[in-house]
């Protein structure tokens, strides 16, 4: 039975990878300057970065509707798939997973398996990518689902933002943490833990935060062959620095993806944000630091 893999637009997989594996992408919605549009189609990263840099402008996001997912599931089935694995942004950060689950109940829960990545960006994307590779190799629904969930368990997402205010406004981090960071001029290294954004370490400067971000990745990777992704929003120089340092300090990199964050995640982290996603090799999740 052919298995199709679906995700949402916050996975930020390379376009070439989406096309190569026939991954179906359901976009989130972004609202700015009085207009609403689909992430990556109607509203871009540059649109969001510009809006957030303009005093008084606000950006908000909303999940796809269950109807959006039903349409995507039916399109995948009409294209020849018999079963579907749908992998999405953390349910603690968005209602996207819940909308997909509702849609799956309408299409048939024996047909669609919905996976919570408990992360975002390539924290979701690596699970999608491994599932898509398995599906392309002829794996059945149970196997593709298992591979996706195993990749979720092996993936860690870390990042640094210029200000915690965007995360606070969107309800993605606690007000107390955001106020503390602003009041003390702290530049925390953040990570996604159990699907939520939480501080990992507090430092005083942006340069120190980036250095500690790299060190956490190095410590987590160890000597293992890992997959990495570097993300940024309107900060290509910082992303380039991160990529260069990671290539020099992580001894064994299986693959490395570098991309700008899209509008939906960018709206919550703000311009200047940079992050790294680490996916450990299979059967190695319990050995990370």
Q: In the prediction, which pLDDT does 185 show?
A: 63
- Residue-averaged pLDDT of the chain: 90
- Tell me which residue of 62, 7, 52 sits closest to 30, measured CA to CA: 62
Q: In the prediction, which pLDDT does 171 show?
A: 60
Stretch 51-57: mean pLDDT: 80
pTM of the model as a whole: 0.91
Q: In the prediction, which pLDDT does 54 show?
A: 82
Q: Is the pLDDT of residue 39 over 90?
A: yes
In DSSP terms, 38 is beta-bridged to 29
Residue 286, token pair as written in the block: 């319990």
Q: Is the pLDDT of residue 51 over 50?
A: yes
DSSP one-letter code for 94: -
The domains located in the chain, with CATH, are: 3-153 (3.40.50.10170), 155-279 (3.30.1180.10)
Q: Is the pLDDT of residue 287 over 60?
A: no
Neighbours of 84 (CB within 10 A): 28
Residues of the chain above pLDDT 70, percent = 92
- For the ranges 56-60, 90-94, 234-238, which has the lowest average pLDDT? 56-60
Q: Is the pLDDT of residue 254 over 50?
A: yes
Cβ(119)–Cβ(194) below 8 Å: no
- Distance (Å, rounded) from C-alpha 189 to C-alpha 212? 7
Q: In the prediction, which pLDDT does 188 show?
A: 85
What's the sign of the alpha-carbon dihedral 233, 36, 120, 253? negative
Q: Is the pLDDT of residue 270 over 60?
A: yes
Q: In the prediction, which pLDDT does 181 show?
A: 46
Stretch 92-117: mean pLDDT: 97
Q: In the prediction, which pLDDT does 108 show?
A: 94
- pLDDT grade for 24, boundaries at 50, 70 and 90: very high
pLDDT digits (tens, 9 = 90+) for 201-241: 888 888 899 999 999 999 999 999 999 999 999 999 999 99
């Amino acid at each position: 039975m052919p298995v199709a893999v679906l995700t949402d637009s916050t996975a930020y997989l390379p376009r070439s990878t989406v096309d190569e594996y026939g991954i179906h992408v359901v976009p989130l919605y972004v609202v700015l300057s009085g207009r609403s549009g689909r992430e990556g189609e109607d509203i871009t990263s540059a649109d969001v970065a510009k809006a957030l840099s303009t005093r008084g402008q606000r950006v908000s996001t909303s999940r796809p509707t269950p109807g959006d997912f039903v349409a995507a599931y039916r399109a995948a089935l009409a294209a020849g798939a018999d079963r579907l694995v749908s992998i999405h942004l953390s349910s603690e950060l968005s209602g996207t997973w819940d909308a997909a689950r509702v849609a799956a109940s309408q299409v048939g829960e024996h047909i669609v398996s919905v996976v919570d990545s408990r992360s975002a960006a390539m924290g979701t994307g690596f699970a999608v990518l491994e599932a898509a590779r398995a599906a392309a190799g002829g794996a059945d629904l149970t196997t593709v689902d298992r591979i996706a969930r195993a990749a979720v368990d092996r993936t860690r997402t870390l990042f640094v933002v210029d200000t915690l205010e965007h995360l606070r406004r969107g309800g993605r981090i606690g007000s107390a943490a955001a106020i503390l960071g602003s009041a003390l001029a702290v530049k925390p290294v953040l990570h996604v833990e159990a699907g939520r954004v939480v501080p990992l370490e507090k430092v005083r400067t942006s340069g120190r935060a980036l250095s500690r971000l790299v060190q956490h990745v190095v410590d987590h990777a160890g000597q293992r062959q890992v997959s990495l992704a570097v993300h940024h929003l309107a900060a290509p120089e910082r992303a380039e620095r991160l990529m260069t340092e990671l290539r020099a300090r992580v001894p064994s990199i299986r693959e490395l993806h570098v991309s700008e964050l899209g509008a939906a995640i960018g709206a919550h982290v703000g311009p200047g944000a940079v992050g790294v996603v680490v996916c450990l090799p299979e059967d190695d999740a319990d050995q990370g630091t």
